A and B are shown apart, each in its own frame.
Chain A
Amino acid sequence: MMQLNTKSIKQNALISAVLASLLASLSITSSAFDLQGAIKDAAKKQIEEQLDQSPDSQQAAPPETTSSAVTTTAETPQATINWKNPSKQEEIALGREITGNLLGAAPLVKDDALQKYVNSVGRWVASQSERPDLPWHFGVIESDDLNAFAAPGGYVMITKGLYRKMSNEAQLAGVLGHEIGHVVAKHQLKVLQKQQLLNMGAGLLNKKVAKDNKFISKAIGSGAEISARSLDKSAEFEADRLGMSYATRSGYEAFGLSDILQIMGQTGKNDSSVALLFKTHPHPDERLATLGDAVGNRLDNVKAGKTLENRFYTLKN
């Protein structure tokens, strides 16, 4: 913990100033995946340098150094992660940890045929995404809530309550497509990276915090807390667009996802089955309208896809 004294106030001001100036100078570069990470990293190095000097002297960013406080700690047998630029394997390990926690709250529905069916649909849709190479895993979990979750590296879960609202395969494909979109765009991963890099920045004065944050199990916080958190609205809209695009490319009727958004929108605000969903997502009406703007006339010349209600798997209970 930082003590609230003049020094830490100065340091905080310094961190803000450095971040602001870096953000300003980098604002034209919008496409870099690891922009957040790069900024934080640069800021951190700059902060380190400046803390060693007089707090009043503002200096330009120091030349690139090869090591940071985080990568110089000793190797341990526990799973660790390079937060600046996580590898695919690290991303998967992170997603697995989150998934295990989520499944600790709501286990899989014990129905092999259901799980295999959902994995078949999901795998086909994921194959039409930009990351067909991930080992995609799908699961229907025991909950009567209406919700779905994605974790980094290709883990996707939907609740039984949401599955029950569906009446055909195109709708399932659309919903899974939305979650696949989150994974492809690395929305949750970026939230975690940002948080960890900020923690590390704050933890520079506390070696233990910086060290602990290397470990996946410690880094994701308490349980599946990350899954109960909101992403930016723009991330949800992006996942809607991607989900609809993937399902359409897969040969499904394009409006499966919007069918489900319609059903969600008809669920009362006070119904507890949508409490978490409505807390963490823009209202379905807003999502439909925004998706409609993006669709425009883009689907006018696309051959109608399949809904496949005939083979849609019916829940046993």
Chain B
Amino acid sequence: MRNLTRLLIAASFPALLLANLSMAAETGSALKNDSIRFEPFADAKIIGKFNRGDKVEILSKKGAWLQVKTTKNTGWVRLLSIKRGSSASGNQAAGALAVASGRAGTGQVVSTTGIRGLSAEELKAAKFNEAEVKAMESYTQSASQGKQFADAGGLQTVTFPNLKAVSGGSK
């Protein structure tokens, strides 16, 4: 399932895919210090550690866990402890795209390629558009319509209290 999703993401962004061929064996880097476990469970045996910034190879995904390979171990880590893709190649890819579309550098559209940005200046200069607000409001769905839509997709509510801020997290 996860691989399929990744494939879909890749398929919809051929430009990024081309620029990121190295992602075929997807790389990542640690966002924080964390443990590597033998299995994708919180109480599974710890077989290694990694530090923030360490490079890893991502092998697979299972629920909230990623299977990764470091220079020393292969095991499971929490999904949100890893930044996917190597930042270096990501920047290069995006940089190349920006140059290709004439949007490099200033944060302003520098050529008329039909690409439309939304800068702070444009937002500030914006004028109220009543017709567009009315159009937006015309699409409004009621709570019961939302419920029907959820039922059609087989979505079922889950009991899950709001996440709370953690002080002194493992940065």
Contact = CB atoms under 8 A, between A and B. Distances in A.
B160 A258 contact: no
A108 B136 CA distance: 7
B125 A108 contact: no
A83 interface: no
Contacts of B123: 101-102, 105, 223-225, 227-228
B8 A289 contact: no
B164 A105 contact: no
B90 A267 contact: yes
Nearest to A245: B162
Contacts of B142: 123
Contact of A124 (B81, B146, B159): B146
A139 B150 contact: no
A55 interface: no
Contact of B94 (A120, A254, A268): A268
B32 A271 contact: no
B32 A128 contact: no
Most-contacted residue by chain A among B41, B80, B94 (CB, 10 A):
B80
A272 B109 contact: yes
Contact of A300 (B64, B97, B171): B64
A258 B80 contact: yes
A46 to B, nearest CB: 33
B98 interface: yes
A144 B116 contact: yes
Most-contacted residue by chain B among A121, A124, A159, A228 (CB, 10 A):
A124
B146 to A, nearest CB: 4
Contacts of B79: 255, 258, 292
Contacts of A250: 150, 155, 157-158
B39 to A, nearest CB: 12
A100 B146 contact: no
Interface string A205-240: 000000000000100001111011000001001100
Interface in A244-269: 244-245, 248-252, 254-255, 258-259, 262-263, 265-269
Contact of B170 (A118, A245, A267, A293): A293
Most-contacted residue by chain A among B32, B95, B133 (CB, 10 A):
B133
Contact of A223 (B31, B98, B125, B165): B125
B123 to A, nearest CB: 4
B94 A266 contact: yes
B92 A273 contact: no
A41 interface: no
B40 to A, nearest CB: 10
A149 to B, nearest CB: 9
Contacts of B31: 285, 288-289, 292
B117 A116 contact: no
16 contacts: A104-B127, A105-B126, A107-B129, A123-B145, A124-B149, A124-B155, A225-B120, A252-B155, A266-B85, A267-B90, A268-B90, A273-B98, A279-B120, A293-B32, A293-B166, A303-B158
